[in-house]
Amino acid sequence: MKELLEKPGFLASSGTLGADVSYLLALVFTVLFLIAWGFAKRAQGTRHHNLILVSMVSMVVYFCAYYYARQLGVLSFEGEEGFGGPREVYDNVFIPVLTTHLILVTLGLILSFYMLVEGFRASEKVNGDFVLKAGKLTVHAKTFKIVMLSILGLWGVNQLFLTAVRHASMGASIAWALIFGTVALVVSLEKLIEKMLPDGARRHRILGRGTMIIYGLILSTSTATYLMLYVIYPVK
């Protein structure tokens, strides 16, 4: 798959197929999320629910496959082979933007899972239409333990696959460990979120706005990274 992603692209003369498709999908997903957000603002719960569900599942599947194939961008930190600009720009502009982008992507993927689950928990069907239901929304202690153990088990399986099958670099293993650690941290913060925003409907609206801001920043950093790599400072 890595070889396919590195084939010549179609947006910029020096771009790759993987970079072009990734950027276009980031743009498409952001537009879909904005449309879904508009449905929510107009109290069209079912349309919002269906579009968000399809968009987020598609986004998670694609970006997990893409970043897995690219070792979560770890290769970008191992040298300047893909960057044709000055060293000062690479160190002071490109790497900070890329790092911010990877952090935002990680947060975006985590929040997509969280918001999907929280959306189902915080809504109900009334006359065939999804609506947010007011009231206290909490996670049972037993469910909380099961989720945390599941995260630990998935990390173990993923680590075994990285080591035994893919023979991934230490950087990739660390990156995946940070992702699973972040997921566990977010889950552990659920109790704090419950105390700060006990009402499920209000929680979903506030976190939904925050998630949309993160997706907007992902698109911005993705655009900046693409332009620096393939338009402004391509490898000659």
Is residue 228 scored above 70 in pLDDT? yes
How far apart, in whole angstroms, are the C-alpha atoms of residue 235 and residue 166? 28
Residue 189 has what pLDDT?
A: 79
Mean confidence (pLDDT) of the chain: 84
pLDDT tier, 75 (very low <50, low <70, confident <90, very high otherwise) = very low
Joined together, the tokens standing for residue 95 give: 């790497």
Is residue 220 scored above 90 in pLDDT? yes
How far apart, in whole angstroms, are the C-alpha atoms of residue 228 and residue 221? 11
Contact 131, 123 (CB under 8 A): yes
Lowest mean pLDDT among 16-20, 70-74, 109-113: 70-74
Mean pLDDT on 54-58: 88
How far apart, in whole angstroms, are the C-alpha atoms of residue 186 and residue 147? 11
Which residue did the predictor score with more confidence, 66 or 85?
A: 85
Residue linked to tokens 């109900």 = 124
Residue 78 has what pLDDT?
A: 45
Q: Which residues, other chains included, contact 195 with Cβ-Cβ below 8 Å and sequence gap of 6+?
A: none
How far apart, in whole angstroms, are the C-alpha atoms of residue 83 and residue 4? 20
Residue 46 has what pLDDT?
A: 92
How far apart, in whole angstroms, are the C-alpha atoms of residue 80 and residue 58? 31
Lowest mean pLDDT among 129-133, 184-188, 222-226: 184-188
Residue 114 has what pLDDT?
A: 85
Residue 15 has what pLDDT?
A: 78
How far apart, in whole angstroms, are the C-alpha atoms of residue 157 and residue 152? 9
Joined together, the tokens standing for residue 159 give: 């680590």
pLDDT tier, 209 (very low <50, low <70, confident <90, very high otherwise) = very high
